[in-house]
Amino acid sequence: MKEQLEEIRRKAIALLDECADIGLLDDLRVKYLGKKGELTAILKQMGKLTAEERPAMGQLANKVRADIEEKIAEKSAQINEALEEARIAAETIDVTLPGKKQPVGRLHPLTKVLDEVKDVFLGMGFDIVDGPEVEYDYYNFTALNLPPDHPARDMQDTFYINDNILLRTQTSSVQVHVMENKKPPIRIISPGRVYRSDAMDATHSPLFHQIEGLVVDKGVTMADLSGTLDMLMKRLYGEKCEIRLRPHHFPFTEPSAEVDILCFNCGGKGCSMCKGEGWVELLGAGMVHPWVLENCGIDPEVYSGFAFGLGLERIVMGRYGINDLRMFYDNDVRFLGQF
C-alpha cells in the first residue's frame, strides 16, 4: 500500500505541474481526491491492514492528500493570476487614441418651451397643478357652463368611455377641481395632455397639450388678464412682441376674447404665415363666468377671475417656425436634434 500511495502522489504532482487549465485542474482534483478518486480507493483498503500497520499508512495517506491539496491550491493561484493578466492585457485602453463621441440627449421642444412657460408663471406667483386625464363629464363640460344640450359640445369631438366618463378635451377641468377644493385667492396653471377625435394632419392631432391658467381673487379685471398674457408673450417671443384681444364667445368666460400676437414672421405687414392679416391667433381667454364660480361654490358677488387656455404645440410651432404638428410625434432624431 505504501508503494501505491507514493505512486499516486508522484503521478498527481506530475500532472498538476503540467496543468494550465482551471477546468482540467478541477478534473484532477476529482480524479485523485474525490469520493471515487484513486486516493479514496486506497484508503478503503485500510481494513485489510494489521493494527500495527494502520497508523503508519494513515499518516502517509494524510501526507499524500495534503501534498496534493497544496499543489492544487498553488496551481489554482498560478492559473487565475495568468487569466487575470491576460484579461487586463486584452482590456488595455490606449489613451492616445481619439475618443468615441457619445450622443447626448436633449429636451424635446415641447418640454423645453413648457419649462419656460412654467418658469414665467412661477415668477408671477402661480402654482402648477395637475389633474386626471380620464375625467367625468361634469368636470369637463357641465361645471364649465356646458350642459348636455349645449351646442358648443359638438365643437369638441370627444372620446367617451361611457355616458359619464371621457378623455378630457381640455385642461379646464382641472380649474373646477381646484376651485372646489381651494378658497380664493387662486393663481394656477394646469398644463397637460388632452384628447379629441381629430384626424392627424399638419395642424391637428388626437392628442395634444394645453396650458390652462386661472386667477380668482377680489377685484380681478380684464386688465390683469391682458398684463399677464403680455408678460408671457414677451418672455416667449421677445420684448417687441405685441398682443391684441378681440371680442369672442366662450361658454365658461364672460366677457371672452381671442388673443392674437403680432406676426413674428413679417412684423405685422402680412405674409403667408399670418394669411396676410399681420396677426396670429394664439389662445382664448376671458373673465370667469359667474355661473362657473357658483358651480364651484365661489360667490361671484365677492370674487372675480380670469382664465385662459393655449395650445403648447401652437406656441412651439410659432417659436421655431415649424409648419407641421406631426413632427413633434414622429420621434425623428434629425428633427429633434435641432433643438
pLDDT in tens, 134-184: 999 999 999 988 888 877 677 678 899 998 999 999 999 999 999 999 999
**Which pLDDT belongs to residue 309?**
93
Asked if residue 139 is part of any domain, the answer here is yes
In this structure, is residue 260 part of a structural domain?
A: yes
172 CB-near residues (< 8 Å, 6+ apart): 140, 144, 212, 252, 307, 309
Co-location of 36 and 66 in the same domain: yes
- Cis ω on the peptide bond leading into residue 184 (within 30° of 0)? no
Cell representation of residue 317: 410651432
Digit-coded pLDDT (tens) for 212-221: 999 999 999 9
pLDDT the model gives residue 6: 77
Please check whether residues 183 and 236 belong to one and the same domain: yes
- Please provide the size of the chain in residues: 339
Residues 6+ apart with CB under 8 A from 153: 141, 146
CA atoms of 154 and 115, how far apart (whole Å): 33
Is residue 42 situated within a structural domain? Answer: yes
Q: Do residues 86 and 127 share a domain?
A: no
Instruction: Please indicate, yes or no, whether residues 212 and 130 belong to a single structural domain of this protein.
Output: yes
Neighbours of 246 (CB within 10 A): 11
Q: Who wins on pLDDT, 304 or 52?
A: 304
Backbone angles phi, psi at 256, to 5 degrees: -120, 160
Domain count, the chain: 2
127 and 187 co-located in one domain: yes
Residue 291 sits in which domain range? 109-336
CA 248 to CA 279: how far, in whole Å? 16
Q: Is 210 exposed, middle or buried (0-12, 13-18, 19+ CB in 10 A)?
A: buried
Q: What is the CA radius of gyration of the chain?
A: 40
Residue 103 lies in a domain: no
The reported pLDDT for the residue numbered 293 is 95
Structure confidence by residue, pLDDT tens digits, 226-244 = 999 999 999 988 888 889 9
83's CB contacts (< 8 A; 6+ apart) are 22
Which of 55-59, 217-221, 252-256 comes out lowest in average pLDDT? 55-59
Cell numbers found for residue 75: 496551481
Residue that finishes a domain, picked among 90, 125, 157:
90
Whether residue 189 is predicted with pLDDT greater than 90 in this model: the reply is: yes
Q: Is residue 12 part of a domain?
A: yes
- The single residue listed with the C-alpha cell 358677488 is 301
72 and 128 in a common domain: no
Same-domain status, 223 and 258: yes
In a domain, 102, yes or no: no
Q: 138 and 83 share a domain?
A: no
DSSP bridge pairs for 256:
248, 286
Strands 279-288 and 304-311: antiparallel
Which residues make Cβ contacts (< 8 Å) with residue 335, sequence separation at least 6? 327
Q: Is residue 62 part of a domain?
A: yes
* Confidence (pLDDT) at 1: 67
Q: Are residues 73 and 155 in the same domain?
A: no
Place of cell 403667408: 272
16 within 8 A of 68, measured Cβ to Cβ:
yes
Give the pLDDT score at 177.
95
pLDDT at 171: 93
Instruction: Give the separation between CA 287 and CA 265, rounded to whole angstroms.
Output: 30
Contacts of 181 (CB under 8 A, 6+ apart): none
* Same domain for 83 and 170: no
My answer on whether 83 and 114 are in the same domain is: no
Residue 155 shares a structural domain with residue 303: yes
Q: Is residue 117 part of a domain?
A: yes
| Mean pLDDT, range 64-83, rounded to an integer | 85
